[in-house]
Amino acid sequence: MTEIRCIQVAINEQPQTAEVPTRMLLSDFLRYTVGLTGTHVGCEHGVCGCCTVLLNGDAVRSCLLFAVQADGAEVTTVESLTREGSLHPLQAAFRQEHALQCGFCTAGFLMTLIPFLRENPRPSASEIREAVSGNLCRCTGYVNIIRAVQSYVALSRNSP
């Protein structure tokens, strides 16, 4: 027996109404119901960080939330970063510094870093490392990821 609930969620500022089974994970809801496949699912028990999205502005694991729990909330996914075809400066820095190899973990890194950099716009290298400690990159491309964040920080420092 599968229970169904009707939920209302703002996803990337777009209000959505949907019927969801109560045991459906938010990660599956985003990918299969809404069709936003930028959020990746790696381990499905909270360890890898690939499914990180923002819930009311805070980075959380979407595989550890049920879609029904997002009723009334705002969810922000990696798809929100690119506006009118141009990459977010952090995405551009990832590209510039070769901070993605296979790309599977990238969305989770970006969605972890966006609120971190809002809170701490001038992080040290060790603060950046700690911030991404909950995201696994199995290509082990961490050095370039840290470098990308540093180059983004340097760029945003030079712009007004």
Partner 1 sequence: MKPAPFTYYDPHTLDEALGLLAVHGDAAKILAGGQSLVPLLNMRLAAPDVIVDINRLPDLDFVTTDNGLRVGALARQAMVERDAAVRDVAPLVTEAIAWVGHRQIRNRGTLVGSLAHADPAAEMPLVFLALDGELHLRRTSGSRRVSAGDFFVHIMTTALDPEEIATEASLPPVPPGSGSAFLEVARRHGDFAVAAIAVVVTIEAGRIRRARVALGGVGPTPLRATRAEERLVDEEPTNELFVEAALAASHDCEPVTDIHGTAEYRRELVRTMVYRGLGRAVVRARTGAAG
Ligand X SMILES: Cc1cc2nc3c(=O)[nH]c(=O)nc-3n(C[C@H](O)[C@H](O)[C@H](O)COP(=O)(O)OP(=O)(O)OC[C@H]3O[C@@H](n4cnc5c(N)ncnc54)[C@H](O)[C@@H]3O)c2cc1C
Residues 116-155, mask of contacts with partner 1 (x by CB under 8 A): x-------------xx-xx---------------------
CB of 46 to ligand X, least distance (A): 3
CB burial of 122-136 (b: ≥16 within 10 Å; e: otherwise) equals: ebeeeebeebbeebb
Q: Which residues are paired to 54 by β-bridges?
A: 59, 76
- Measure the CA–CA gap between 81 and 22, rounded to whole angstroms: 29
- Measure the CA–CA gap between 5 and 68, rounded to whole angstroms: 7
Binding to partner 1, residues 38-77 (CB under 8 A): 44-46, 49, 52, 55, 58-61, 63-66, 68-69
Interface contacts to partner 1, rule CB under 8 A: 1-3, 5, 22-23, 25, 28, 44-46, 49, 52, 55, 58-61, 63-66, 68-69, 112, 116, 130-131, 133-134
